[in-house]
Structure 1
């Protein structure tokens, strides 16, 4: 074995523990003697929790190379802050995704949800690491549409929501096939992000309120702004409420936006793979849907296409469950699905007010964030202020017109 490290290896990666992990990965891949170098480090936009590396491993006996993705909290100031959500993601890779892959063996390969493969993981304190097979070797890439301040098109959104329906369907399949064990799994996946202990330790409480305040201060409709100010004291309570288990709960991704997806364009269609499962939780499928729609599409797009996209999602859920001989009406009737989406629309509004601050991030802002020793994004204002202001007022004006703001206020006044 040879650990011939690239001389440009960043000091965040300079850790004996990580070198040892790569040796384990090489052994799993059937590689004896090898050398490696760090090929890539993610920027602030890609991941605010962990350090992300692409590592190229070269089999020196066969002169072949394989690439892996390394996610680690080691050597970061965030190690203690985000240990809990790292541990959750390790559980997803070691428990949930293997079960999903197992149940999908029953159906044809082209109908399966593509899932990332974990080669190594450790959830112990001070040893937090996940190493994944690099899907980039198979032609999967991230989508820069939102990063370039452009809009997703209808085909892209349809692909995402129909693949999401397949992903959610696997929870219903697990529940149908092994009810007792699935119930035990669900207990381990109650929401973590909005729990008091995690909020206090991670300082996310500050982030949520500061981001919300920044957005509300940009609202031009004075009456809407007053209502949103009134909702502020219950912000975390509301976020927690919307993300709790419901009658038709599934294992939701929990942080569904385009930066947590990889895409592959083929001759006649595209493929997608969801990644980054730190926020996976047991909740209504509608929470994933509205989270994505409100962060990644505009009010104009939603007014023109959201209704049809809900039909596309549900029809795919139905067809996927049929492959497992499950009647969709027995697990999630259409009228209850539509009701869930409607009732969770205020969650989309709240998430937008908190997270649009990140989505309007410019390269200049990103440089500021990378130089911040604390959690990114707490002491800066987006450089693209006009875009930020536009996106905030776009979603607020929509929520006034379609009654979502009033639906939110009914929860606030309860």
Structure 2
């Protein structure tokens, strides 16, 4: 009997708790939620938390509201991601990120739920979303705290368990499918709200400095011959990024998640069995090619052995899941997004997988005590201390892309 797959490691760590005082705007939001939830009397427990490198664009809090309502005792568990005052990053518009995620949870998620309810989509075939508490706070994302229901995340250094990858790919297909359903059913809304969404990341000089900096860590993982290949590849990296995100002429597009990686997918287990996943973190939403979300997910959370065994099957699963989901809405997947086009786009954009893998792996393998502060550190001098396990992951990545003819 095979050993159960290693899966989840609860990365949330309490920084301070008990009588922790929330920033006044957040406290005002909590007060609104208390009123809306019908509490007659209540007490709150606030905690400041960290995700050990899983988040860098805000302060995180947990709030437990316990008390009585007209219907009896009640408890409401809340998770908050709060924008740091005056936070600015050289490669991304932080305020726009919060605006995008509030748009998703405040408007789009409700629209998606209504669509799925209207067509009686079975629970097991739905796109899963966390319940949002819309407390009219533009600088905070306020959600149900699913950690209280046993959800956690796959540790960023671990290879994704197969079941986790399968469920995540199915969810991704449904997310893309809902975009095409919305485009068909509410074309005016789609044209006004979805199609104009542009990538928030800025591929500027600071981004180039970040790429160059990360390459100093990945270069050390490979032999001299492959280091030469990487050096020949590097001058075109920025153009690869711009091509994949900005040049969509002739490509079938939809609303893309933009940050669909393992750390942004909550997972629940029953014993050793993974039973459910729920995507989160919609701060990088944009209108673009759906294949990029798939590639973005695969390469940071898998190793060479996993890809050799399962990559083709996961591509098949994505397309089969999209076919099944669209069928509920009387839409033919071959008319919406032909398989031949999916495969063509995958091959055309596969080079992004190498760029992204090289770019983020040093960060994913950084020890918890050495996670960089993107708001304070110079991207050119950003220092990390990668775990030795990173070497094998990078070697496998380089070997695969050499075999696929990209290096």
Please indicate, yes or no, whether the TM-score normalized by the shorter chain is above 0.5: yes
Contact 1:41 1:53 in 2 (8 A): yes
Partner secondary structure for residue 130 of structure 1:
strand
TM-score (norm 1): 0.84
Alignment of structure 1 residues 240-279 onto 2, 5 Å: 240-244=242-246, 245=248, 247-266=251-270, 270-279=275-284
Contact 1:37 1:57 in 2 (8 A): yes
Aligned to 1:89: 101
Alignment of structure 1 residues 208-223 onto 2, 5 Å: 208-222=211-225
Aligned to 2:287: 282
Q: Does 1:131 align with 2:121?
A: no
Partner secondary structure for residue 133 of structure 2:
strand
Q: CA RMSD in A?
A: 2.8
Measured against aligned partners, the alpha-carbon deviations of 1:213-244 in whole angstroms (never above 9, x if no partner) come to 4323543253x433433443443332132123
Question: RCO (CA 8 Å, sep 6+): is it higher in 1 or 2?
Answer: 2
TM-score (norm 2): 0.85
Distance in 2 between the 1:212 and 1:188 partners? Answer: 33
Alignment of structure 1 residues 75-154 onto 2, 5 Å: 75=85, 77-78=87-88, 82-105=94-117, 106=119, 107-120=121-134, 124=138, 128-144=139-155, 146=156, 149-154=157-162
Measured against aligned partners, the alpha-carbon deviations of 1:342-368 in whole angstroms (never above 9, x if no partner) come to 2221111000111001111213323xx
Aligned to 2:10: none
* Offset at residue 370 of structure 1 (A): 6.3
Distance in 2 between the 1:64 and 1:21 partners? Answer: 19
* Residue of 373, 395, 398 corresponding to 2:397: 395
Change (3 A) 1:16 1:237: same
Alignment of structure 1 residues 338-349 onto 2, 5 Å: 338-349=343-354
* Offset at residue 32 of structure 1 (A): 4.0
Distance in 1 between the 2:131 and 2:275 partners? Answer: 20
Distance in 1 between the 2:35 and 2:230 partners? Answer: 55
Contact 1:140 1:262 in 2 (8 A): yes
Contact 1:78 1:375 in 2 (8 A): no
Aligned to 1:228: 230
Distance in 1 between the 2:105 and 2:238 partners? Answer: 28
Change (3 A) 1:33 1:322: same
Change (3 A) 1:57 1:175: same
* Residue of 82, 88, 97 corresponding to 1:72: 82
Contact 2:153 2:266 in 1 (8 A): yes
Partner secondary structure for residue 52 of structure 1:
strand
Partner secondary structure for residue 263 of structure 1:
strand
Partner secondary structure for residue 260 of structure 2:
coil
Distance in 2 between the 1:114 and 1:251 partners? Answer: 16
Measured against aligned partners, the alpha-carbon deviations of 1:23-60 in whole angstroms (never above 9, x if no partner) come to 11222222243321223512341211111111111225
Change (3 A) 1:59 1:240: farther
* Offset at residue 204 of structure 1 (A): 4.7
* Offset at residue 288 of structure 1 (A): 0.9
Which stretches in structure 1 are left out of the alignment for 5+ residues?
Answer: 406-414
Contact 2:363 2:384 in 1 (8 A): no
Distance in 1 between the 2:68 and 2:86 partners? Answer: 32
Aligned to 1:56: 64
Partner secondary structure for residue 33 of structure 1:
strand
Distance in 2 between the 1:116 and 1:376 partners? Answer: 33
Change (3 A) 1:19 1:79: farther
* Offset at residue 398 of structure 1 (A): 1.1
